[in-house]
Structure 1
Amino acid sequence: MIKNFHQYYVYILSNKPNGTLYIGITNDIQRRILEHKQGLIDGFTKKYGLDVLVYLEMYHNVNDAISREKQLKKWKRLWKIELIEKENPKWSDLSIEWND
């Protein structure tokens, strides 16, 4: 029996190092980040120009991803910055390496 293979992503966007942060969840990270970069999503990310992918986690279970997103949103700002800088100290755009 073949099981369905799903991927869910919890991601953090920013506009600059130590800038405004946004935490989101998606099942198609490349599409979602492109939407943010093209300003197709009205709201917080568009208002503050949040289109730099600075942190990313992948999950196979949607409930795990939702739980993690909720957990991160409750974290203190300092903890979020430390999490980003542990994996991405230069706050590089992780989506730059993707092919269009």
Structure 2
Amino acid sequence: MYREAHGGWVCMMADRYRGMIYVGVTADLASRVTQHREGRGSDFCAKYELKRLVLAERFATIEEAIAFEKRLKRWRREWKIELVEKSNPSWDDRFDQLM
């Protein structure tokens, strides 16, 4: 279901409520989040122990996902917090709910 040949995901990982935030893009959400949780996803996530999937947005193409990720990375921190809290006000880990 989450390993489709086309499309992409923008995901945000965090260590805790309103904590450190990582923004990434992937075509395979389950594998990428698992990599982050195991400390293999990115040096940034491993360094700050970002293992909580707080936001995942699906896009029809990987190109759309990459474009949104690039915009999101330029956003102010408070805007990113607002985006997360629109759908996940308590910053719960959404990984099990999506899988």
Query: What stretches of structure 1 move > 6 A for 4+ residues in a row?
Result: none
Q: Within 2, Cα distance between the matches of 1:36 and 1:65?
A: 18
Change (3 A) 1:60 1:97: same
Q: Within 1, Cα distance between the matches of 2:98 and 2:68?
A: 24
Give the CA RMSD over aligned residues. Answer: 1.6
In structure 2, the partner of 1:51 is 51
Runs (5+) with no aligned partner, structure 2 = none
Spell out the pairing of 1:1-20 with structure 2 (5 A cutoff): 6-20=6-20
Q: What's the offset of the Cα at 1:98? A: 4.9
In structure 2, the partner of 1:92 is 92
Q: What's the offset of the Cα at 1:97? A: 2.6
TM-score by length of 1: 0.89
Q: Within 2, Cα distance between the matches of 1:36 and 1:16?
A: 15
Change (3 A) 1:98 1:10: closer
Q: What's the offset of the Cα at 1:5? A: 5.5
Runs (5+) with no aligned partner, structure 1 = none
Q: Within 2, Cα distance between the matches of 1:5 and 1:27?
A: 8
Kindly indicate whether the alpha-carbon contact (under 8 Å) linking 2:13 and 2:54 is maintained by their aligned counterparts in 1. Answer: yes
In structure 2, the partner of 1:70 is 70
Q: What's the offset of the Cα at 1:79? A: 0.3
TM-score by length of 2: 0.90
Kindly indicate whether the alpha-carbon contact (under 8 Å) linking 1:5 and 1:60 is maintained by their aligned counterparts in 2. Answer: no
Q: Within 2, Cα distance between the matches of 1:93 and 1:26?
A: 18
Q: What's the offset of the Cα at 1:41? A: 3.0
Kindly indicate whether the alpha-carbon contact (under 8 Å) linking 2:36 and 2:42 is maintained by their aligned counterparts in 1. Answer: no
Q: What's the offset of the Cα at 1:66? A: 0.8
Q: Within 1, Cα distance between the matches of 2:57 and 2:28?
A: 12
> Kindly, what percent of the aligned residue pairs are identical?
38
